[in-house]
Every structure is written in C-alpha cells, then in structure tokens.
Amino acid sequence: MSIYEKRVTKYEKLVSHLEKRLHSVGNWRLLTAVSGIIISAGADRFGLYYLFWSSILIFTSLFIYLVIEYNKLKKVLEYGKSMLKINGDSAKRLNGTWVEFEDVGEELKNENHDYSSDLDIFGRGSLFQWINTTNTYLGRAKLKDFLTKSCYSEKLLYDRQTAIIELAKKRWWRQRFQAEGFEIANEIREDERLIKWFETKNNFYARKDIVILIRLSPFVTISTFLLGYGFSVIPRFIPILALIIQIVMLLVGVKQRNIDLNTVYTYQRNIRVYKNMLKRFEKVNFKSLYINNLMEIIKSKDGLSAYKQLAELEKIVDSISNRGNLMFLPINIFLLWDYQCMVSLEKWKRNSGHLVNNWLTALGEMEALSSLAIISFDYPEWTMPVFTKESSVVRSKGIGHPLLTNKQVYNDLIIEKPKNILLITGSNMSGKSTLLRTIGINLVLAYAGAPVCAKEFQCSFMRIITCMRVSDNLEKSISSFYAELLRIKEILRATEESQQVFFLLDEIFKGTNSHDRHLGAKILIAKLYKQNAVGLVSTHDLELGELEQSTNGNIVNYHFQEHYKEGKIYFDYKLRKGISTTRNALYLMKMIGLED
C-alpha cells in the first residue's frame, strides 16, 4: 500500500467522524434554539421574568457557542475532504487511472505550437492532466509556460531542479498548500483584472480634505440626531438636512464607486485563498536559491508579511459584503459606508497594491513547481537531466514514456555528432511513434527543470519542433498533405535560424503516392542533415534506409520488430539497430476479415 493509499484511509475515517460530529452539533444547535424559544415564551407568559431573562442569556450564549463550534467543524471537514481528494488523486497517478481527472487543460491547446499537440502536452491523457495540481489562474498559466516555453538557461534550470527536489521532499507542505487553493479550484478567474485595479490609483479618495470630510460627516450627522431628537437642543430640521446632504454625497459618483467596490468584492474568496496560501509559503524556511528568490519578490520595503497585508484587505472586502442587502441601506446613509470602504481601499492600494502582481506571480510559480515536484517524489528512480554545451546531443539510458504509467518499455538511445539523425522503421503498432513522443516529452520535461523518465539523460539546448499529427482544415481549405508541407516549411525555416533544431517526423508525406513520398522524404532528410538539425524520423519506407550508407553512417537506422506465436502477433517495443525486416499489414488485414 502506497503512502497515498494509507492517507486516503486516514482521511476517510477523519471525514466520516467529522460529518457525524457536524450533524450532532447541528442537531444540538436546533434543539437549543427551539428549547430557548419555548422556555422563554413560557416564562414570559406566566410572568416569570427572572426565568425569562436567564433563559434568554443562557440559551443565546449556548446557541452562539454551538454556531461557532459548527463553523469550526465545517472548516476542518472541508480541509479533510480536500486532503482526501489530494491523496486520492495522488494514488490514481501511481496506479495509472489519472486519465479520469476532469481538468485536462483543453483550453490551453494550441494547434500551431511547435510541439504541444503532437506530444500530448494538453488534453485527455496529457502531461498537463497527469501532473497539474494548480488552483490559481497564474499557477495554471505558469505551468503552461513551463511545458510550452523551453528554458535554455543552464543555471536557471539547475536552480529550478534544486527547488523541485526540495519541494518533492516536502510532501506534507505541498498537499497543504494545494488544499488552501481548493476553494477556488472550480472557478478559475483571470487575475489580471484584479492586479490592474490595484495598480490604478484614485486620487480623490486619497485627498486629505476628502478623507477628513468622509470620516467626520457621519459623526456630525449622528450627533445632530442625538441633539435634535434625543435632547431637543437644536431644531429637528438640522439632522434631516445633514442626512439629505449625505444621501446626495452617496449619489455623486455612485456608478463608478459601485464598479470599484464590486470589482474587488468579486474576488473576495480569491483574496482569502491567496492570503492563506501566502501564509503557508511565508511560514516555511526554504533552502533552494530559486524559491528564496521568489520569497524576496513578495517582500515589502518595510518587511511586512504579504499574507498580513492581504489579511487587512480581507477585512476591508468583508466590510463591503453587506452592500447588496436592503437592510444595510440606512447604515450606508448614516455612516457613508461606501465612502468609508473606498477610502480604506485606496489607502491599502497605495501601501500594498503595487505588490499584488508579485504575490500572485510567486504563488503561481510555487504551484507550478509543486506540480513538477510530484514527479520527483513519486518516481525517485527517475533522473534529473544533465545539460551539455555540446551541440546535437541526446544521450539517454533506460528511457521510457512518462505517461505510460507502469507500462513503460525502456530503451537506450544516443544522438551525437556527426550522427544527428535516427531513421526508425518497423511494422504497424511496433512502437515507432511512441519512441518519438518518448524522446520529445522527456526533452520538454528536461527544459522545464523536471525529472525525466530515464536512468540517465543528457542533452543540448535545442528548439523542439514536431510534425506528427497533421490534419486537414476545411475552414481554410487546406488538405492534410498541404498542412504537413506547411509544418515542414516551418521546421526548415527554423533550421536556418541561430538555434539548433530538434525535430520529430512521423510517417512524412503519407498523403501522397509512394514514389513522390519516398523521393520527397529523401530530399527533406538530406536537407535537415545539411542544416545541422537533430532528430528522429519514423517511416514505413524501408528504401530510406539507404541514407545511412550514402551519409557514411551519419543517418543511423534503428527498428522495432514483432514476432508471432500460435497465430498471434507480439511486440516487445525494444529498439534495435538496422532496418526493419518484418511486415504485419497483411496479417492485421486478415484479423479484421480482409483476405482473398
């Protein structure tokens, strides 16, 4: 039983216990309210005023206590449920049922990206679906950047690796950090609007004369009511006039004020969640330079903790929460409550608003790092890649596809000058395309700073571009063959730029006749070789194997093969040198009843 399964059992028991306690406290709360009403009503009817006031005091106090206790239990229960889900999902990652996760990052797909579509970075059964534990908008965006914007700074990647290794060891912290964000997990809201609002200043509510007027006006108005109606010292029209003036004040600029207050109130839950996540972050001492650099960017000049500053904002936002209640209207009129909130918000914005972007950016990066740290914790036998200043290098030992949970077949593969290109042949379903994706997705992980599914892995810095899943576009009247040509054009254009290209080509030119396909593929591979590109090409055209001889062994042939036993076909998915000598298309046709 994995550590996750043990914790699932633990939290299942805890949740069950808390649900029973919550139900019990709820029943006691109801019983207290009913008993208090009955006893106090009976005492009042029979003139037992001592009993009446005693019962009111006792039962009200008891009811308030039970309400507080109920809310505490509810909060602990929600936390327990979050931890139960987190560990349940972690167990699913280990046993291979993570494809059930609802969040597949569908909206993050980009068919025009260099490799994300071909290498299953987003979508059902993707890398994102497997590792994503982010809850915030910027966390999601940062993880997307890690997986689609390769980092080519050796120092930055090694620093990130160190951070991921440190986070991997802090499983308890990662899970609690993730649990804090669960409250907003299902309502991803763009933070740019909030950040922009906090960075925008409204000088009107910062003017000293306006602040003094807003703070003093309610005191003056309430005082006139006491003097006019309580002590009859001044004429009663004066408090009425003071009240009318405040109503007029509330009507001035009401539209823009409502927009401002509603904007920040919309993010009430987010602000509470961000505060709790920052508190988790700031309360822990991290050793890695990468994380400590993130810690530095959230600090204010006076050294005040970010979560404490957000706690102040949370109080202000909570004070806005009753604005929509009609019963609150008199309070708003007497106290100029909307103005009080705007003054407080403007003061907070001037002190801390410019830091919000840094806070949320740091939180997002910690979420993305925590997602990658899961790989390191769950698979300690996987390796952190080593980067080399040599060009044209991919050296791997025991490399497998990270998404084939518990079903990987591991191979050794080396690409280095002058043997820049590998030609992979083999029959249908033998593993050619999977090999290409195995190398590609592990390079993506390497350039993100994450562990790779291999015993050893070393690589150069190269731009990954793939041409594997190409389809037609009816809207643009583009056939699949022409779409493939456009993709290959992009690859060739990239090879002319300064950065070295790592390409993956799967069954190129399959949309045309065999003669043109063979000739076109031969020309393309030769051109890529001359352009110093690095990569793998999978093909059924065994004639292309002649390129190894014509390039003096610098385009290297590898193949997969199958074998037959008792009329059944078997694959071992092991990579072998040389050209494929087996075919299985006719056999597969017979399997579906297509034979003479």
pLDDT digits (tens, 9 = 90+) for 159-211: 999 999 999 999 999 999 999 998 887 776 678 888 888 888 889 999 999 99
Question: Which tens digit of pLDDT belongs to each residue from 341-356?
Answer: 999 999 999 999 999 9
422 beta partners: 536, 556
Assign 88 a pLDDT band (cuts: 50, 70, 90): very high
Q: Which of 168, 103, 164 is nearest to 130 (CA)?
A: 103
Structure tokens at 219: 């005191």
> Measured between alpha carbons, how far apart are the two ends of the chain, in Å?
53
Q: Which of 34-38, 390-394, 467-471, 592-596 has the lowest mean pLDDT?
A: 592-596
Instruction: Please state the rounded mean pLDDT for residues 550-565.
Output: 86
**Residues 59-65: contacts with CB within 8 Å, 24+ apart?**
59/32, 59/33, 59/35, 60/36, 62/32, 62/36, 63/29, 63/32, 63/33, 63/36
The count of other CB atoms within 10 Å of the CB of residue 522 is 16
Assign 584 a pLDDT band (cuts: 50, 70, 90): low
> What is the Cα–Cα distance from 432 to 540, expressed in whole angstroms?
10
pLDDT reading at 315 higher than 90: yes
pLDDT reading at 113 higher than 70: yes
pLDDT computed for residue 50 by the predictor: 85
Rg of the chain, C-alpha, whole Å: 33
Question: Which tens digit of pLDDT belongs to each residue from 479-528?
Answer: 777 788 888 999 999 998 878 999 999 988 776 777 777 788 888 998 99
pLDDT reading at 473 higher than 70: no
Instruction: Please state the rounded mean pLDDT for residues 455-459.
Output: 97
Q: Which of 191-200, 406-415, 524-533 has the lowest mean pLDDT?
A: 191-200
User: Which of 474 and 41 is assigned the larger pLDDT?
Assistant: 41
> What is the Cα–Cα distance from 274 to 307, expressed in whole angstroms?
8
pLDDT computed for residue 421 by the predictor: 94
pLDDT computed for residue 570 by the predictor: 77
Q: Angle at Cα 585 formed by Cα 581 and Cα 590, nearest 5°?
A: 130
pLDDT reading at 282 higher than 60: yes
Residues with Cβ within 8 Å of residue 468, at least 6 apart in sequence: 118, 433, 436, 437, 504, 505, 506
Structure tokens at 157: 């990647």
Buried b (16+ CB within 10 A) or exposed e, 262-287: eebbebeebbbbbbbbbbbbbeeebe
pLDDT reading at 232 higher than 90: no
> What is the Cα–Cα distance from 258 to 394, expressed in whole angstroms?
58
pLDDT reading at 472 higher than 70: no
Instruction: Please state the rounded mean pLDDT for residues 454-469.
Output: 95
Phi, psi (rounded to 5 degrees) for 289 = -60, -40
Q: At what angle do helices 254-266 and 268-282 cross, to 10 degrees?
A: 50
Question: Given the structure tokens 């007497």, which residue do they identify?
Answer: 334
> What is the Cα–Cα distance from 17 to 9, expressed in whole angstroms?
13
Assign 449 a pLDDT band (cuts: 50, 70, 90): very high
> What is the Cα–Cα distance from 181 to 134, expressed in whole angstroms?
8
Instruction: Please state the rounded mean pLDDT for residues 439-462.
Output: 97
Whole-number percent of the chain with pLDDT over 90: 69
Instruction: Please state the rounded mean pLDDT for residues 50-65.
Output: 90
pLDDT computed for residue 45 by the predictor: 84
Q: Length of the chain, please?
A: 596
User: Which of 253 and 563 is assigned the larger pLDDT?
Assistant: 253
pLDDT computed for residue 117 by the predictor: 94
Instruction: Please state the rounded mean pLDDT for residues 551-566.
Output: 85
pLDDT computed for residue 471 by the predictor: 67
pLDDT computed for residue 301 by the predictor: 80
Whole-number percent of the chain with pLDDT over 70: 95
DSSP class of residue 395? E
Q: Angle at Cα 35 formed by Cα 31 and Cα 41, nearest 5°?
A: 150
DSSP letter string over 511-574? TS-HHHHHHHHHHHHHHHHHTT-EEEEEES-GGGGGHHHHTTTSEEEEE--EEEETTEEEE---
> What is the Cα–Cα distance from 547 to 555, expressed in whole angstroms?
6
Q: Which of 25-34, 39-48, 148-157, 217-226 has the lowest mean pLDDT?
A: 39-48
Q: 521: burial class by Cβ within 10 Å (0-12, 13-18, 19+)? A: buried
Assign 430 a pLDDT band (cuts: 50, 70, 90): confident
> What is the Cα–Cα distance from 245 to 225, expressed in whole angstroms?
14
Assign 149 a pLDDT band (cuts: 50, 70, 90): very high
Instruction: Please state the rounded mean pLDDT for residues 75-94.
Output: 95
pLDDT reading at 252 higher than 70: yes
User: Which of 325 and 451 is assigned the larger pLDDT?
Assistant: 451
Domain boundaries, given as residue ranges, for the chain: 3-95, 192-367, 386-591
The mean pLDDT value of the chain amounts to: 90
pLDDT reading at 218 higher than 90: yes
Fold of 386-591: Rossmann fold (3.40.50)
